[in-house]
Structure 1
Amino acid sequence: MGEPLNVGIIGVGNISGQYFEAIPRLPGLRLAAVADLDAERARAVAAERGVRAASVDELLADGAVDAVLNLTVPAAHAEVALRALTAGKHVYGEKPLALSVAQARPVLEAAAERGLRVGCAPDTVLGTGIQTARQVLDTGGIGDPVGAHVHWSAPGHERWHPAPHFYYQPGAGPLFDMGPYYLTSLVTLLGPVVRVSGTATASTRERSVATGPLAGSTIDVDVATHVSALLEHANGVTSTVTVSFEVWATRTPLFEVYGTAGTIAVPDPNRFSEPVEVYTPDAPEWTQVPVAAGYADAGRGYGLADLARAVETGRPHRAGGDLALHVLDIMESVLLAADSQRVVALGTTVARPEPVPAGASPDTW
């Protein structure tokens, strides 16, 4: 392994703590500086982490920063990514890649023009959970895949998040916030999607912040809060997906893949390493599958480390911009299908990312 990739983080809000936890155990990454619109918060985090605090402009102009970890709110993802690429830096961002496909395309075009990399969360699909499920599927553990079912639901993030207002603005909601975990996993497992249909609604329920200094403040809802979709993959498999901020309780399975010779209970794709279970006619009970693939003990930041190693070796990185663009296209097309009451064909496609073999690390592959 060569020199680590020097990383500057823009946006040190709630999610940044998970990245700060993982980066020190990834030799391919070196944290160089942090920036935030709230300069006082940036200084406090920098002091805690033993790095330099900077303004956004200073960080982007810093020649010692090789890559920007973009942890801003969704509405700023595309703008910050473009500014970082223009400054000659690789970019890895939180999901979604942008608010729309139209916003995202210039980001990937700018990277291609400059020979730079764009990566995007979720990198949870690189952990042992989704990768083991993929290995079971790819080795015929349930025969030929036929369909998949996803159901993620909660009453709403305002019950736990101290500043949840952005979850109810464009670029968030259950589809754009939680959907990328499941849709990225579905594409990783079953390949790209070619057409979608869907419905999208929002209740009239009043929402307010439950915790923190904003407790009691009301939340304006400008997104669909209950979305159901039917996806057709290029290989003919169909997936049904429901994501919701409207469900108080459910007994519906979280994530399953159905095949001609069995079923995979896929673990939560918002986690890296939960167990995989399989049911087959030959073993008619749920059986836990030994870990067979994926980065062990992974955390948020492993996708960026995978990108850093890919830059060094000249190979494609797995949590790539093309994959994030395709997932964004799926989400945007589902909402268009719901609004127009028709089936919508996607305008993007993507190859399944290279699998992560058992025992791999993002610093060595």
Structure 2
Amino acid sequence: MRRLMETIGTLFKAKLAFRLALLYLSVLVLLVVALPWLPLPFLPNELDLSKVFAPPFHWEHYAANRPFHWLGTDALGRDVLVNIVYGARTALMISLPVMLLATGLGLFMGSSAGLFGNHKLRISNARLLLLLPSLVAMAYYTLYVPFQLALLKADMSAYILPTILAFAIPGVLLFIGAPMLMRWDSLKKTTPFPFDHIVLRLIETLTSIPKLIFILVLAAFAPPSLLLLSALLVLTFWTGPARLARGEMLRIKELPYFEAAISSGVTQWQLIWRHAMPNLLAPVAVSFVFGLAALLMIESTLSFLNIGVSTELVSWGRMISGIRANTAAWWLVAFPGAFLSLTVLALQTCSYYLLQASQEKR
């Protein structure tokens, strides 16, 4: 992490484009964080039916003692400027947690696959026997039950128990049930677990289907739900960080310091967290920024198509879709589209320079 921060500091001083992009993203994040305290004249879904499709910059049409719509209104008289700010909050609220979870999952799966391969990780026959019911229980409580709760429009508190059971049941089976089964000698024996092969097949399967089509198909069977949309995005976006982490781990394994750590008797998990992670963070950070830009575009596309995201949430994509009601309302595309393009461009600029810096240090 310290090396990553030093790289960012060096780029901030040396590269003007990186500096501008990072400043823009910082201002955007601060704006979203300070949103509840901003003196905005309107609420995001507040209707002003007397000012439907009001064009921007026509301030002379408004009384001097009343708030006016700086950037115009949409088909229901909602303020474009306020909705742009709240749309930024929606974009970050969806993309940032999803990419953090996807990067964490991908980092764990990829680094473990690169380190253990197909032969180093050995698992007892007892745990191998209980692995399938553990995965079935996890899939049941993380996919099927939340889907049914979304159909019933349950509160967020209803998801707490399934989440606990999704991890508690596999934990009980693998760490309590498996030692009990090891009383039999045949179940006590260990066999190599092809972790690398399984991870590669999962990555190939998920990446063979275009992300947008995969999300559209799955979202078509579920009502609009932010939680389900986030789960689908994590399911599709972890493969990029995983592939990068696996490749980097295969390279790091051949370095002299890593071989010295192995010869000194360090455990496998200590090899990952103490010796591999410091070198993995920089390239994975590049993948994180690239994925964040892709997530913003996919979230806007889904909002434009009115899929996956509740209509109560304001988003840039849904604002742009308002142009279909009045093709002359150019401001419904120009302003949210400009903010979306600037945000994606800033993220791509940061990732480009971070990638360039990481390649120079190799």
So what's the TM-score if we normalise by structure 1?
A: 0.22
Which protein is bigger by CA-based radius of gyration?
Answer: 2
So what's the TM-score if we normalise by structure 2?
A: 0.22
Higher helix content, 1 or 2: 2
Higher strand content, 1 or 2: 1
